[in-house]
């Protein structure tokens, strides 16, 4: 029962505060009066008795405070009181509050947005069962220029059979696959994957509807089945609960839907909407030379990545011996799936995380500065409170409450900003880079924002608060209005904060400058082809319909013939892959009159099967010899164009024109191909990746599995204006032919640079925020200093100082801060920029131009920030100033 | 006035409880009573007395009620609760044991 009573006491103290306070007051007053009466009885005069009793009684307020403490409601009560008081002070200074909240909101919103992306990309486990044990397995063909090669089915099959480290291994076909879905509704290109039947069980995800693939579905010739993504099921089939067992047509063949994957499931990327069994044939599973798989495997419990890699290396060595032709110098290794999916974007995100932290730090420094300035105005208030019985800790607590309150307001505003900003950021990141489903403001993000807000409040509040403990009470109380209140210690602190802001801003700005220069270099780099005014589209021929080679070439002939005649078309060409769509696509060759290279040193150039005008349509350079012409057709001499890298590496400087090579075995009736021209190197794999050896063969002469499916059209005007006309011509040739991926070639260039562009623009944006905040910081400090020194300036003017002298006074203070900050900033930027090295292109991490330009930029902004307070200083009227205090 | 003897916190609680055990009393009277009974040796400082009273009230050992004082003023009277009575007995026994023990040590040595 006792606890009930004491709780009710506490409630009484908390909610009936007035009554309790009055009672406390009465009780103590009664004591005092009783004591006075006692002294009067003892013979003192009433006045004397009163004085003695009061002196003896001691500090009434302190005693009251102790009594309240005993009631132990103080914690909540003072918090409420502090919050009320804080809200009142903040409302009284709307300008200060507004600026502080905006600065903090920007900092916190940037952090929240970047965190929610980092959360998905780096932190949250991948949406598969026990995803930590999932790895991707690659072939290491670095000897041939492919350090991360898509494994050949034969290798996959042998790894799977021989390894001791994986529970299971699954594969998807690495080729770009899409299925032409026909049947009810419009024909539609659906991106999908051919997969081994065990894929979903390796990933540990079961279909939400229907069943998983079974081993028998994967046997060549068995009935066609398909599993749909949740999104496709909703979009195309309206979420039909009876979908399982229904039939649909994919690439003109009948498939039965057997299942629907759960919402949010994606593999291997967020594009794939549909999965069908790969049904690899025995021959395919024995093929070690055709590299086109993506392999995912699940480690056995307790097996480390290192053990797995050792095991894979051993198997790879065995395979080298067994298949020297294909497997010489081909290794194998596994990397965690998490690294695989976030690998490219990880360093960029870490850089951005660092950048937003800097922005927040600058915002904190700014607000701390404002608080310090305000604290110097509140010294008298604080001194008064301390004198009236507040403990030092109590005053510090109150000031911290105010700053946390401020930070919370900033946090709420920041959160509102990030509701808009996060989806915007996520939309900037292209689909191919990282799986970003579920980038929204969720519980974790909210928690993050809350923690950041409170930590921020503590961070910028602690310095001004701690300065309270250094207050000299008597001095502060004596200092009238408290105008000249700020001691030199306070000014030094404020100066130090501004110096830090400048330094942080320099670091951010130089990082952004380096990234932007890299991007610029890449945009101005000559990739060996021109992307402007080129329209591309894919017309993949359904294999069933175009079984025979002549039917296929006839299709290409007719389409090109028709497209050439569209007004506005300068040149049109077919190719297997336009640049930036395939890093590989290679085949081994042997050069005439050269010894057959030993295994492991075979020549494996990229091959592109093209039409005669393709080279012209992409405006590639002809270095030597001739391009293809209308005479290079079926039945004439087999010809090839080679790039400069082949010419240099395979013919070692000798003139290769007229020389021959073969794809087959030179011992048994080789089919020689004659080099007729050399074209410039083209960056196929990525704008920042140098060219491999590469050759171009006319489609009429070669039929070995690589089909030209990209149509590239060089147009005189906007390429997209001709898209409809070109598509119509394709449909005139074959009205059922699917046409996909219609876009300007420039889109591919943009996509290729998207990650860098996003990084550069985000970093640039954050650097801009830093610049703004830092310049506001300088402005605030100088403006405050001018106000503080009004009297001094007035005296100087009265004694004959010219406006120039006054300007000099203010500018020199501002520039001093800037110079120290810039020196510190440049030093740290030079140190930190090394971490950016692998994100840069064509620019050194210590690029003097970048560093110089950001310093000049910040110097300019600093001058501007100095100018306004300096102007104000020159207008000081000595008469007014002298009466100022 | 002589310097008041410092009282250990627990000891002051014990003295207050014992004092208000006789009859309900206001703060001033408690201090007076302790001083008188102890023959002017124990002087309870107000700064310690009132926080102690509030603490004991908070803990439920005593309860307060407003009443008329001897000079017809409203005063806050503290009285021992049932729980306080038990607690006092317990603490008194403790104190006996402790002081006897200390006495023994002092005598023997």
Task: For residue B50, give the nearest of A6, A10, A63 by CB distance.
Answer: A63
Rounded Cα distance, B106 and B109, in Å = 6
Closest approach of chain A CAs to the CA of B103, in angstroms? 34
pLDDT, one tens digit per residue, over B40-49 is 888 887 778 8
**Cβ–Cβ below 8 Å for B58 and A27:** no
Nearest chain B residue to A65 by CA distance is B51
Please identify among residues 55-74 of chain A the ones whose CB lies closer than 8 Å to any CB of chain B.
56-59, 62-63, 66-67, 69-72
Spell out which chain B residues touch chain A, with contact meaning CB-CB distance below 8 angstroms.
1, 26-28, 45-47, 50-52, 54-55, 57-60, 66, 69, 71, 73-76, 83
Task: For residue B60, give the nearest of A2, A58, A70 by CB distance.
Answer: A2
Q: Which residues of chain A have pLDDT under 70?
A: 1-16, 71-75, 77, 175-176, 183-187, 341-344, 389, 428-441, 469, 471-490, 665-667, 884-885
pLDDT at A93: 81
pLDDT, one tens digit per residue, over A815-827 is 898 999 999 999 9
The DSSP letter of residue A218 is: G
Task: For residue A6, give the nearest of B52, B58, B71 by CB distance.
Answer: B58
Phi and psi, residue A164, nearest 5°? -115, 5
Q: Which two tokens stand for residue A826?
A: 């440049």
**Cβ–Cβ below 8 Å for B76 and A26:** yes
Question: Secondary structure of A617-675 in the HEC alphabet?
Answer: HCCCCEEEECCCCCCCCCCCCCEEEEEHHHHHHHCCCCCCCCCEEECCCCCCCCCEEEE
Closest approach of chain A CAs to the CA of B62, in angstroms? 11
Secondary structure tally for chain A: helices H, strands E: 28, 24
pLDDT at A170: 95
Task: For residue A37, give the nearest of B47, B71, B76 by CB distance.
Answer: B71
The DSSP letter of residue A384 is: H
pLDDT at A484: 44
- How far is the CA of A252 from the CAs of A224, A514, A542, A544, A877, in angstroms? 12, 52, 8, 8, 90
A418, A111 contact by CB (below 8 A): no
Average pLDDT, chain A: 85
3-state secondary structure of A149: strand
A846, A757 contact by CB (below 8 A): no
> How many Cβ atoms sit within 10 Å of the Cβ of residue A665?
10
- Residues of B whose CB is below 8 A from A26: 74, 76
Q: Which residues pair with A170 in a beta bridge?
A: A296
Report ipTM (2 d.p.). 0.81
Rounded Cα distance, A544 and A549, in Å = 12
Q: Does A37 touch chain B (CB under 8 A)?
A: yes
Best A4, A20, A38, A63 member to test B by mutation, with max B CBs in 10 Å, is A63
Q: Does A27 touch chain B (CB under 8 A)?
A: yes
- Residues of B whose CB is below 8 A from A59: 47
Let me know if A94 is exposed, middle or buried by CB neighbors in 10 A (0-12, 13-18, 19+). Answer: exposed
Q: Which of A685, A690, A754, A646 is nearest to A525 (CA)?
A: A690
Q: Name the E strands within B9-61.
A: 25-26
In this prediction the pTM is 0.69
A218, A189 contact by CB (below 8 A): no
Helix B27-37 crosses helix B46-59 at what angle (to 10 degrees)?
110
The set of residues, in sequence order, having a beta carbon less than 8 Å from that of A308 and lying 6+ positions away, is A135, A163, A165, A166, A299, A334
- Residues of A whose CB is below 8 A from B73: 30, 33
The set of residues, in sequence order, having a beta carbon less than 8 Å from that of B104 and lying 6+ positions away, is none
Q: How far apart are the first and last CA of chain A?
A: 62
3-state secondary structure of A606: strand
Interface A–B counts its CB contacts (< 8 A) at: 69
Task: For residue B58, give the nearest of A27, A37, A70 by CB distance.
Answer: A70
**Cβ–Cβ below 8 Å for B73 and A58:** no
Q: Which residues pair with A524 in a beta bridge?
A: none
**Cβ–Cβ below 8 Å for B54 and A2:** no
Q: Name the E strands within A68-221.
A: 134-141, 146-149, 166-173, 178-182, 188-191, 193-195, 209-210
pLDDT at A492: 81
- Residues of B whose CB is below 8 A from A23: 66, 76
- Residues of A whose CB is below 8 A from B58: 6, 9-10, 70-72
Verify cis geometry, omega within 30 degrees of 0, for the bond prior to A268.
yes
Residue B57 has pLDDT above 50, yes or no: yes
The residue behind tokens 């800097």 is A358
Rounded Cα distance, A612 and A539, in Å = 18
pLDDT at A884: 57
Q: Does A12 touch chain B (CB under 8 A)?
A: no
């Amino acid at each position: 029962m006792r606890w009930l009573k004491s709780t009710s006491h506490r409630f009484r103290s908390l909610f009936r505060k007035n009554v309790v306070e009055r009672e406390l007051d009465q009780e103590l007053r009664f004591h005092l009066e009783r004591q006075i009466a006692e002294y009067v009885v003892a013979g003192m005069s009433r006045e004397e008795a009163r004085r003695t009793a009061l002196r003896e009684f001691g500090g009434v307020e302190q005693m009251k405070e102790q009594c309240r403490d005993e009631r132990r409601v103080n914690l909540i009560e003072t918090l409420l009181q502090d919050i009320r008081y804080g809200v009142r002070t903040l409302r009284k200074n709307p300008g200060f509050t507004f600026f502080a909240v905006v600065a903090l909101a920007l900092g916190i919103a940037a952090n929240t947005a970047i965190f929610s992306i980092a959360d998905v990309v780096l932190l949250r486990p991948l949406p598969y069962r026990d995803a930590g044990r999932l790895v991707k397995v690659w072939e290491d063909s670095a000897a041939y220029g492919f350090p991360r090669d898509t494994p050949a089915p034969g290798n996959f099959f042998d790894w799977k059979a021989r390894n001791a480290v994986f529970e299971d291994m699954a594969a998807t076909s690495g080729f770009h696959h899409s299925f032409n879905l026909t049947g009810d509704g419009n024909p539609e290109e659906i991106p999908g994957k051919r997969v081994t039947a065990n894929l979903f069980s390796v990933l540990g995800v079961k279909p939400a509807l229907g069943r998983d693939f079974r081993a028998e579905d994967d046997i060549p010739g068995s009935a066609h089945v398909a599993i749909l993504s949740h999104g496709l099921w909703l979009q195309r089939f309206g979420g039909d609960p009876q979908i399982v067992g229904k039939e649909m047509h994919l690439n003109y063949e009948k498939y039965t839907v057997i299942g629907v994957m759960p919402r949010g499931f994606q593999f291997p990327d967020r594009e794939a909407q549909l999965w069908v069994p790969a049904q690899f044939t025995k021959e395919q599973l024995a093929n070690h030379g055709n590299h086109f798989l993506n392999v995912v495997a699940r480690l056995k419990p307790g097996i480390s990545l290192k053990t797995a890699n050792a095991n894979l290396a051993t198997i790879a060595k065995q395979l080298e011996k067994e298949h020297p032709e294909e497997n010489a110098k081909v290794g194998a290794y596994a990397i965690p799936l998490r690294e695989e999916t976030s690998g490219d974007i990880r360093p960029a995100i870490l850089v951005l995380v660092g950048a937003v932290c800097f922005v927040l730090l600058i915002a904190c420094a700014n607000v701390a500065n404002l608080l310090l300035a305000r604290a110097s105005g509140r010294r008298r208030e604080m001194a008064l409170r301390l004198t009236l019985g507040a403990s030092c800790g109590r005053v510090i607590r109150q000031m911290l409450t105010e700053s946390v309150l401020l930070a919370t307001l900033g946090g709420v505003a920041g959160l509102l900003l990030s509701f808009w900003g996060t989806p915007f950021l996520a939309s900037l990141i292209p689909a191919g880079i990282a799986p970003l489903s579920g980038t929204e403001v969720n519980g974790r993000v909210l928690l993050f924002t809350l923690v950041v807000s409170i930590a921020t409040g503590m961070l910028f509040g602690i310095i001004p608060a701690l300065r309270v403990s250094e207050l000299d009470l008597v001095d502060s109380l004596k200092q009238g209005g408290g105008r000249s209140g700020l001691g030199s210690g306070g000014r030094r602190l404020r100066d130090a904060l501004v110096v830090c802001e400048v330094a942080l801003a320099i670091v951010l700005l130089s990082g952004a400058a380096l990234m932007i220069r890299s991007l610029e270099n890449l945009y101005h780099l000559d990739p060996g082809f021109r992307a402007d005014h080129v329209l591309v589209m894919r017309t993949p021929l359904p294999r069933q319909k175009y079984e025979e080679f002549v039917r296929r070439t006839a299709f290409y002939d007719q389409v090109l013939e028709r497209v050439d005649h569209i007004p506005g078309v300068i040149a049109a060409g077919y190719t297997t892959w336009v640049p930036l769509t395939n890093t590989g696509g290679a085949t081994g060759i042997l050069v005439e009159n050269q010894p057959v290279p030993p295994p492991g040193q075979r020549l494996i150039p990229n091959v592109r099967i093209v039409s005669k005008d393709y080279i012209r349509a992409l405006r590639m350079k002809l270095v030597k010899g001739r391009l293809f012409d209308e005479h290079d057709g079926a039945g004439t001499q087999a010809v090839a164009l080679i790039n400069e890298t082949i010419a240099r590496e395979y013919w070692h400087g000798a003139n290769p024109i007229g020389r021959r090579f073969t794809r087959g075995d030179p011992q048994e009736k080789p089919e020689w191909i004659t080099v007729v021209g050399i074209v410039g190197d083209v960056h196929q794999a990525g704008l920042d990746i140098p060219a491999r050896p590469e050759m171009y063969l006319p489609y009429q002469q070669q039929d070995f599995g690589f089909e030209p499916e990209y149509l590239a059209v060089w147009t005189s005007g906007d390429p997209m204006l001709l898209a409809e006309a070109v598509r119509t011509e394709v449909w005139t040739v074959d009205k059922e032919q699917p046409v996909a991926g219609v876009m300007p070639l420039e889109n591919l260039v943009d996509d290729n640079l998207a990650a860098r562009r996003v990084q550069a623009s985000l970093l640039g944006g954050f650097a801009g925020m830093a610049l703004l905040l830092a310049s506001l910081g300088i402005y605030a400090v100088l403006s405050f200093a001018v106000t503080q020194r009004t009297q001094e300036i007035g005296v100087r003017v009265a004694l004959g100082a010219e406006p120039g002298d006054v300007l000099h006074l203010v500018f020199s203070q501002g520039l001093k801060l800037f110079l120290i900050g810039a020196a510190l900033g440049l030093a740290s930027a030079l140190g930190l920029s090394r971490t950016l090295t692998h994100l840069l292109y064509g620019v050194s991490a210590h690029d003097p131009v970048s560093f110089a330009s950001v310093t000049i930029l910040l110097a300019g902004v600093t001058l501007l920030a100095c100018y306004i307070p300096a102007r104000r200083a020159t207008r000081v009227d000595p008469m007014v100033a002298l009466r100022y205090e | 006035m002589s310097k008041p003897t410092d009282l250990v916190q627990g000891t002051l609680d014990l003295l207050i409880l014992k004092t208000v055990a006789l009859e309900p009393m206001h703060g001033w009277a408690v201090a007076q009573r302790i001083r008188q009974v102890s023959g002017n040796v124990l002087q309870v400082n107000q700064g310690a007395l009132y926080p102690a009273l509030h603490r004991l009230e908070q803990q439920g050992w005593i309860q307060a009620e407003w009443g008329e004082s001897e000079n017809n003023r409203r005063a806050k009277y503290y009285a021992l609760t049932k729980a306080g009575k038990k607690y006092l007995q317990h603490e008194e026994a403790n104190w006996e044991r402790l002081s006897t023990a200390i006495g023994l040590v002092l005598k023997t040595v």
